[in-house]
């Protein structure tokens, strides 16, 4: 489509807009890989790019409208405006401004100014006019100006309101297409009147449907993360976020769901945007992130997960042999790089007592757990288990097979009690793989968090204590 990407900061709401919030948004946009041609950080022909730095421009435009009789100063107090609103409610009329200052004489205006009364600027809405747009998504949309009162352009403190700012900025910055949420449709009438009054060209509008929560309510903080930064912190990948967000209200007409950013850039077209509201499905986002994670080179995804394990305080070194081996072991089940943390914690821990106290462990205990656990303990005390572990997965496999032959056990009757005895859990990755990874530990120093790692010797001591406490 060509054109330029301009980043504009709409910060006239001084109560909500801070430089810190601006920096956070810019940081999030850059993380997503968005690269603008003009903006507050790179400059350009359309600057300044913060609306708070363009107040002189808005004042000039407001004065122009006043001089042409298309706007006027309004000295109504908050109390007067509230009284007008209540009167309209009692008469079952829309709460639109029909105040006296729309009809005030020049002498009355000058007298009010001389008295030092605070005032705002209001746009003089022409009566009974139909205003239409041809919306790219919703087709023809029309309003009658009688549904709208004279609205504020500049507040009494001199700060412009949103609708005035964006109309002036869109025109002066050469914006040709305005794509935004459907909740902005009511603003479009005001902006259309401003464009027309100032003689500006009207951009093409497209109002997309809102993104809804799974319960079909409006997405809000109570549904979880709502900022890009929060998703980044939770371990989502930027390409996955772009992929997921692009498919909320758009598709390319095929069943394809996983797209690269380049593919989306090539395939995107306005005519494929849908009118129906999209639902933000975090489960789908997690799955999609997992697909993007799998497409990364193993070294890259592994390094990201290992760095997270250090950042969260679990491991001491992201480049250690243990960190690399542990991440490789748990990576198959990861949807997010942050998923590595709970899985590696499980690998390091040994919750034997908790596991054996659970109701589901009764069948394992009743099926000869003590017999297999005794063999594990004996192999540890004799050094046989350490020798098997030194040979890696194949060494463990040969050893557990020998135990099975000696006890005439195989399958689940052998592997489940051995798993519980060695890992303290009834589920997880292959036990031989776990022992091989734990064998890569240089020592407790590899683990930054005290108490997170239970070495084999401590495991066997706990197992021995359990066996002695539960002798038949």
Q: Which sequence positions are flagged as catalytic? A: 221
Helix (H, G, I), strand (E, B) or coil at 461: helix
Give the CA-trace dihedral at 118, 120, 126, 128, to 10 degrees: -90
The H or E element containing residue 181 is strand 177-181
Token pair 């995804």 in the structure block, residue? 301
CA distances from 174 to 46, 49, 169, 191 (A): 9, 13, 8, 15
In whole angstroms, what is the distance from residue 286 CA to residue 387 CA? 41
State residue 122 phi and psi, 5-degree precision. -115, 145
Helix (H, G, I), strand (E, B) or coil at 38: strand
Among 126, 194, 114, residue whose Cα is nearest residue 154:
194
Among 231, 129, 137, 249, residue whose Cα is nearest residue 189:
129
State residue 151 phi and psi, 5-degree precision. -100, 160
In whole angstroms, what is the distance from residue 24 CA to residue 145 CA? 39
In whole angstroms, what is the distance from residue 195 CA to residue 210 CA? 26
CA distances from 461 to 266, 391, 408, 439, 453 (A): 61, 23, 26, 18, 14
- DSSP annotation string for 399-446: HHHHHHHHHT--THHHHHHHHHHHHS-SSSS-HHHHHHHHTT---GGG
Among 183, 226, 162, 175, residue whose Cα is nearest residue 202:
175
Among 342, 241, 332, residue whose Cα is nearest residue 282:
241
217: number of Cβ within 10 Å: 10
- DSSP annotation string for 127-169: TT-EEEEEETTTEEEEEEGGG----EEE-TTSPBPHHHHHHHH
Among 98, 122, 126, residue whose Cα is nearest residue 109:
122
In whole angstroms, what is the distance from residue 161 CA to residue 180 CA? 18
- DSSP annotation string for 241-300: HHHHHHTSSB--SSS-----HHHHHHH--GGGB-SSPEE--HHHHHHHHHHHHHHS-HHH
In whole angstroms, what is the distance from residue 148 CA to residue 125 CA? 7
CB environment 21-32: b (16+ within 10 A), e (fewer)? eeeeebebeeeb
């Amino acid at each position: 489509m060509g054109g330029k990407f301009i980043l504009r900061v709409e910060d006239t709401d001084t109560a909500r807009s801070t430089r810190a919030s601006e920096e956070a948004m810019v940081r999030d946009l850059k993380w997503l890989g968005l690269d603008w041609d003009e903006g507050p950080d790179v400059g350009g022909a359309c600057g300044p790019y913060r609306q708070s730095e363009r107040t002189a421009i808005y004042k000039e435009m407001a004065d122009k409208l006043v001089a042409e009789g298309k706007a006027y100063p309004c000295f109504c107090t908050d109390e007067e405006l509230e009284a007008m609103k209540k009167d309209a409610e009692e008469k079952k009329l829309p709460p639109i401004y029909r105040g006296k200052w729309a009809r005030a004489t020049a002498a009355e205006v000058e007298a009010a100014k001389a008295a030092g009364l605070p005032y705002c600027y209001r746009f003089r809405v022409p009566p009974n006019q139909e205003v239409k747009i041809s919306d790219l998504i919703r087709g023809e949309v029309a309003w009658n100006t009688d549904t709208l009162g004279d609205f504020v352009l500049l507040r009494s403190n001199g700060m412009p309101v949103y609708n005035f700012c964006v109309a002036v900025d869109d025109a002066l910055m050469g914006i040709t297409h305005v794509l935004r949420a459907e909740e902005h449709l009511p603003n479009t009438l005001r902006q259309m009147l401003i464009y027309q009054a100032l003689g500006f060209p009207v951009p093409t509008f497209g109002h997309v449907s809102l993104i809804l929560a799974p319960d079909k309510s409006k997405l809000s903080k109570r549904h979880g993360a709502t900022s890009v930064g929060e998703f980044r912190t939770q371990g989502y990948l930027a390409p996955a976020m772009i992929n997921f967000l692009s498919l909320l209200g758009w598709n390319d007409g095929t069943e394809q769901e996983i797209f690269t950013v380049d593919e989306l850039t090539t395939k995107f077209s306005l005519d494929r945007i849908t009118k129906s509201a999209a639902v933000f499905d975090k489960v789908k986002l997690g799955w999609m992130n997992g697909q993007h994670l799998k497409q990364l080179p193993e070294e890259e995804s592994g390094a990201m997960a290992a760095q997270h394990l250090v950042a969260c305080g679990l491991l001491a070194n992201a480049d250690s042999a243990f960190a690399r081996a542990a991440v490789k072991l748990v990576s198959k089940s990861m949807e997010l790089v942050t998923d590595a943390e709970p899985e590696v914690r499980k690998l390091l821990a040994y919750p034997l007592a908790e596991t054996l106290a659970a109701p589901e462990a009764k069948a394992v205990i009743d099926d000869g757990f003590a017999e297999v656990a005794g063999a594990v303990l004996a192999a540890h005390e004799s050094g046989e288990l350490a020798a098997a572990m030194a040979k890696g997965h194949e060494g463990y496999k040969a050893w557990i097979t020998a135990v099975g032959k000696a006890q005439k056990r195989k399958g689940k009757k052998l592997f489940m009690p051995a798993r519980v005895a060695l890992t303290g859990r009834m589920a997880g990755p292959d036990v031989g793989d776990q022992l091989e990874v734990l064998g890569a530990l240089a020592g407790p120093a590899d683990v930054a968090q005290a108490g997170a790692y239970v070495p084999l010797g401590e495991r066997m001591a706990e197992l021995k204590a359990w066996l002695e406490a539960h002798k038949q």
